[in-house]
Chains A and B, each alone.
Chain A
Amino acid sequence: MRLRYVVRELWHHRLRTGLALVGVSVATAMLLDMLMLSGGLETSFRRLLSSRGYAIRIAPVGTIPFESEALIPSYPTLRDTLLDVPGVVGVAPLLGANVELRAGADSARAFALGIDPAEQGVYRLLAGDPPAEGRVVVDEGLARDAGLAIGTRIELELAGSLGVARRVNVRVAGVAEFVYSARGERVVALPLPVLQRLAGRGDRIAFAMVRISDTADPEAVGAAIRARAPRVETFTVSGLVERARARLSYFRQLSIILGSVATAVTALLVGTIMAVSINDRYGTIAAMRALGISRRTVVASFTGESLVLSAAGAGLGVGLGVLTAGYLEGVLAGFPGLPAGIRFFVLDGPAVGRAIAIVLGVGAVAGLVPAWRVANLEISRTLHREEP
């Protein structure tokens, strides 16, 4: 009966209730977005790193992959060393270089990745075959924009080679989605030895990804690799995510601040709505208390009213939050060089649950305070004041 009365009371003051719902839903949306943002990048980063099944990354000691021209020498020796480490089941090398891609009269700048087609973790083949001698795989965007089809002849020329032209003629063997590439980046994958020859890199690679067995411990394997190959640095997925946590503190701090603001707005809004609603009915509430309606009933009624308001606003707010997160995701996707697979806002059950729980909790407390005050009003004095 009480819930019905609460809903009717809210419906009876539709404008006030509607405005409050809009306010609570906007605040909930912001709160949800901030909860998603606080852990979204980290979650997305972990998922991306784990997506291809490679638990360890290897780079030249003291470097960041592709930030400098640092390379790891003697890859065949390194590969044998890595495969000897207990727990290691696969090694995927990578070498990168800027190239000019020419197909007929058209040319485009692209980034060439030298890989081992039998053991690679940078692309998912969408059509055609893996790279081989004289055959390359291009990303779907490049294929679309340059009009490349499987079988198309293209020429790759190493960019930045002053005075010495290094070229290779190849055919497009396949089209793929490159999981670590940035939006709009044009990528072509070819066998590692081909790129090493093209770029004059001998037997060097930029970095490698290591696949380990299901039962192996990544930290232990990483330590074993460092012990056997001291010229390389190892990074586990957890280690990378841990380092990311420190670097992504800005987003966490921002989400805490804005999330707190959203929570405060919800509390203020619901508290004010309830206070005004109660003020409107002071005389009636005093009369109800005079009739014998208990303080508990009064508190429960008004707290129920604030809870219903908060719950309805939270429900709407979740939907709105998903929409605004999509918009903000679009803004942040413009970060240069950011892998297309990275997301800043990750919607998951815990984030939604936390947002709703916070709004409900805050709404309940915000309603409880004025409700408790009015439940303990001096009945006689209030009646004297309200009655003429």
Chain B
Amino acid sequence: MRPDPAVAAAVDKPVVEARDVEREYRVGGEVVRALRGVSLGVAAGEFLAVTGPSGSGKSTLLHLLGGIDVPTAGRVWLGGTDLARLSTTQRDRRRLLEVGLVFQRFHLLSMLSARENVELPMAEAGVRPADRRAASEALLRRVGLAERSRHRPGELSGGERQRVAIARALANGPRLLLADEPTGELDRGTSEGILDLFAGLNAQGVTIIVATHDLHLAARARRRIELVDGRLAS
């Protein structure tokens, strides 16, 4: 299936594009339709917020766009590549190099320092130790944690942990940063700091898609779409 010219025309050089994607899950004996016929294109340098109530399919859409999951119907292209044509291993590799992910619960490895957590994707990508160290220090400086690089997650505040997670997401210089409820576990003040960080990264050219039910966060994005019951409301 080729990209819809209409959708492609609506955005300039899409980093990621979805066409009529659907996703169904079987839960017990029931079929749950998490996404129904969603089409979307995100250009390079965009800051997109995906909003909607809980269970509207925000996380599912992010997973499909990032190649974490495959749609039941429809197609997703990442950097012009149809993700459905890739094997699991190939999709893993694309994600490692081209997509950065930030989670609500941070998911840092507790026995590693901040720097070592940031180095993890680089090590997987085959970057040499010396280069990894320099790059991770630079990333931590970028997110404002230069002095905390040796600290373990247990020694960091919630906001600091999320900054480490953001630095980790940027480890391999991805073309796309996906964040699923990045401020869900943080207080208002800390959330503001994270939002400022996202804004700053976007200003530096990082393409960001954030799934959130926080309208204040959504307002900081340059574009916003809303999902209701698995469909695009706007």
Interface residue ranges, A against B (CB under 8 Å) = 1, 5, 8-9, 11-12, 283-284, 286-295, 297, 378-381, 383-384, 386-388
Contacts and interface: CB of A to CB of B under 8 A. Distances in A.
A380 B63 contact: yes
B123 A1 contact: yes
Contact of A294 (B63, B89, B104, B180): B89
A294 B120 CA distance: 12
Interface centre among B99, B110, B184 (most CB of A within 10 A): B110
A257 to B, nearest CB: 40
B129 interface: yes
B111 A379 contact: no
Given A379-B68, A380-B60, A380-B69, A292 B105 contact: no
B180 A289 contact: no
Contacts of A383: 59, 63, 68, 103, 180
Given A290-B68, A290-B101, A5 B124 contact: no
B41 interface: no
B105 A387 contact: yes
Interface of B: 25, 59-60, 63, 66, 68-69, 88-89, 92-97, 99-101, 103-105, 107-112, 116, 120-121, 123-124, 129, 168-169, 172, 180-181, 184
Nearest to A287: B107
Nearest to B132: A1
Contact of B96 (A5, A293, A384): A293
A286 B104 CA distance: 13
Contacts of B93: 292, 294
B107 A284 contact: yes
Contacts of B116: 5
A292 B69 contact: no
Contacts of A293: 92, 96, 120-121, 124
A383 B93 CA distance: 19
B111 A291 contact: no
Contacts of B184: 388
Nearest to A6: B111
Name the 8 nearest CB pairs between A and B, nearest first. A292-B96, A287-B107, A380-B69, A292-B95, A12-B111, A8-B111, A380-B63, A284-B107
B111 to A, nearest CB: 4
Given A293-B124, A380-B63, A381-B25, A288 B89 contact: no
B123 A288 contact: no
B111 A9 contact: yes
Nearest to A285: B107
A290 B181 CA distance: 15
Contacts of A289: 68, 92
